[in-house]
Amino acid sequence: MSPLAAAPAADPTLQDFGKDPWWLIGGKVLVIFVFLVLTVLISMWVERRVIGRMQLRVGPNRHGPFGLLQGLADGVKLALKEDIVPRQVDKVVFVLAPILSAVPAFISFIIIPFGPNVSVFGHQTALQGTDLPVAVLLVLAMSSIGVYGIVLAGWSSMSPYSLLGGLRSSAQVISYEIAMGLSFVAVFLFAGSMSTSDIVAAQHDTWFAVLLFPSFVVYVITMMGESNRIPFDLPEGEGELVGGFHTEYSSLKFAMFFLAEYINLATLSALATTLFLGGWRAPAPISTVWAGANSGWWPVLWFMVKLWLFIFFFIWLRGSLPRVRYDQLMKLGWKILMPFSLGWILLVAAIRAFKNEGYDMQQITIVTVVVAAAILGGTILWEMLRGGEGEEGAAAEAGAAPADPFAGGFPVPPLDAPHYHGRTAGTGARAATIGTRSEEVTRGTH
Amino acid sequence: MTGQEIVFALLGAVAVGSGIMVVTTRQLVHAALWLVLSFGALAGMYLVLTAEFVAWVQVLIYVGAIVVLLLFGIMLTRAPIGTAPDLDSGNRWIAAAVAVATAALLVTVVVMGFGDAKMPLEAGGGSAEALGSAVFRTWVLPFEVLSVLLLSALVGAIVLSRTDIGGARSRGKGD
């Protein structure tokens, strides 16, 4: 640690970027690339070992110390496998899809800040690929381009499983991207910027995870949806869709999908760390007793600790949660996360506006709590009054038309349910209950 | 010509060329992909004009949401691999004439209006701050009118897609 780096002016701002010499830019890009590939290898090993531990088995432990080289061995195996291209597929799109999936995943890591300004061969530079005034938008844009990889893989494979996986995935990622974008808005409001270095600088006092806890919760949920992992891994649900969108892929093309999935995992964790957990800043007990914790190369350590805690959290969830049903997933995204995020943004914006007008913070808090409690109480009262009717209606309907589960000779769900079509397919007996059925559907509480 | 102008012109050529490919290709999904390229080139042009915010929003909304929804719709209904013979239309010459006439009109208006007048690029002119204050201070009324338009389109889509509300069968009316 040089004494210069320990000065408080070491925190990078947006103006510090774009001044690096060419060798430093190339070096940063190379380091980020190598870091991502290593992270993928290690997180695959960590995931298999931790899941193994949680399921009371050992996990891979043969290759290298503790099985650390398992990922490498798997990579070599994948590369040496036969590259199967099914007949009649659209070859251009079939090859394009894995590339479109992997490349954006690499790009979005370029704006993640690893640390403050440090001295590299006598050159002061920030430990960050680059920064833009709209850096977080870049991550969102890249993740939305990554969707193309999945959609096109599903379409071009000429397989119903792949197509279904691609459809599910695109619908899911688009829905959760909206809620994710909304969860960033409160962060932008408080940081006053969309650049990642400014957002980290804005958290020198309090982490946004504390200040904007509801946003943090929404982000963590949407992050699961974006990464297509359990509990939201419907696009590749093994039990129903074989492998989902990558069923027909093999060898290196499959490896690219795999790479993209694990890089996305790292990117989402790094973004959560940057936006909500103070980025590379040391956690409170360390930074209060040790002034030098936030300068030099030490912040890389704090960043890594936070990143790996998040990745462990992902793995932990995978080990403990079951897969949700598709309609539950969509309902959660559109009917709960989005309205909740919008309400929360409204509240945050109102508080910020009042604070800018010079009102007393305590007064604002009291008024906010009273109004929020009144709205919550009113909603609960309304739901209780309405919920009684709903149960009655449901009970009446259940008595009116018992579905025959063995209609086709084997148990099937009722495919002509009004839920799917908005109306019944209409035999004489069922037509009598159209009124009650559609009423129940429009209310949407079942 | 400066480097910026060359890049701008190249991106324009890519945008127009891929736009032509969108309407001439015989493969439905390829048309959507050419549209992605066209939108991407447009985003690149915004970047050259130092409007970073607009460029990434272009990628996020048009590339990331609208074309994905188009693809989604294509796949839900029919998604043939290979050429689809029914993608051609008998109106193609009339449509081409209308398109050329519209382009000629727009080019004429721009050339007559501005000629070869040049505006200096100011850094930060397309940033989030500049854009936000322009939209929410100067142009707030058109902005709100547009959002009402979008809302009515949304309501219209719901009315069209729901069979249980509507004039023909008033018995099935819900609430």
The residue among A209, A196, A192, A193 whose CA lies nearest residue A355 is A192
Q: How many angstroms separate the CA atoms of B147 and A293, rounded?
A: 49
Residue of A nearest to B53 (CA): A134
- The pLDDT tens digits of the residues spanning B22-34 come to 888 888 888 888 9
Task: Give the mean pLDDT of chain A.
Answer: 78
Q: Is A189 touching B (CB cutoff 8 A)?
A: no
Report the range out of A160-169, A302-311, B71-80 with the highest average pLDDT. A302-311
CA distance A430 to chain B (A): 13
Among B52, B60, B76, whose Cβ lies nearest the Cβ of A167?
Answer: B76
Taking CB atoms and an 8 Å cutoff, what residues of chain A touch B164?
422-423, 438, 441-442
Q: How confident is the model at residue A173 (pLDDT cuts 50, 70, 90)?
A: confident
pLDDT for residue A414:
52
State the CB neighbour count (10 A cutoff) for residue A217: 16
Among B33, B53, B174, whose Cβ lies nearest the Cβ of A442?
Answer: B174
pLDDT for residue B18:
92
- The pLDDT tens digits of the residues spanning B81-118 come to 666 777 777 888 898 899 999 999 999 999 988 877 87
State how far the alpha carbon of A122 is from the alpha carbons of A4, A26, A299, A347, in Å: 11, 17, 19, 47
Q: Is A155 touching B (CB cutoff 8 A)?
A: yes
A125 phi, psi to nearest 5 deg: -150, 155
- Per the structure block, which two tokens stand in for A136? 């977080």
State the CB neighbour count (10 A cutoff) for residue A343: 13
Is A137's CB within 8 Å of B60's CB? yes
Least confident range of A95-99, A167-171, A272-276, A303-307: A167-171
Residue B165 clears pLDDT 80, i.e. is over it:
no
CATH number of B3-88+119-170: 1.20.120.1200
Least confident range of A185-189, A239-243, A247-251, B97-101: A239-243
Look up tokens 């704006």; give the residue.
A111
Q: How many angstroms separate the CA atoms of A219 and B77, rounded?
A: 33
- The pLDDT tens digits of the residues spanning B45-62 come to 988 888 888 888 888 888
pLDDT for residue B17:
93
Among B36, B60, B162, whose Cβ lies nearest the Cβ of A140?
Answer: B60
- SS3 of A313, please? helix
Residue A123 clears pLDDT 70, i.e. is over it:
yes
Q: How many angstroms separate the CA atoms of A219 and A344, rounded?
A: 13
CA angle A133, A136, A137 (to 5 degrees): 85
Percent of chain A whose pLDDT exceeds 70 = 83
Q: Mean pLDDT, to the nearest integer, of B120-147?
A: 84
- Return the higher-pLDDT residue of A445 and A179: A179
Residue B174 clears pLDDT 60, i.e. is over it:
no
CA distance B102 to chain A (A): 31
ipTM value: 0.79
Q: How many angstroms separate the CA atoms of A73 and A80, rounded?
A: 11
Is A134's CB within 8 Å of B82's CB? no
Q: How confident is the model at residue B67 (pLDDT cuts 50, 70, 90)?
A: confident
Q: How confident is the model at residue A280 (pLDDT cuts 50, 70, 90)?
A: confident
Domain definitions of chain B by residue range? 3-88+119-170
Residue A411 clears pLDDT 70, i.e. is over it:
no
Q: At what angle do helices B67-77 and B28-48 cross, to 10 degrees?
A: 180
- Per the structure block, which two tokens stand in for A13? 């701002």
Task: Say which amino acid occupies A103.
Answer: V
Domain definitions of chain A by residue range? 4-324, 406-446
pTM: 0.78
How large is the C-alpha radius of gyration of chain B? 21
- Return the higher-pLDDT residue of A370 and B172: A370
Is B162's CB within 8 Å of A156's CB? no
Q: How many angstroms separate the CA atoms of A154 and B55, rounded?
A: 28
- The pLDDT tens digits of the residues spanning A5-14 come to 334 445 777 7
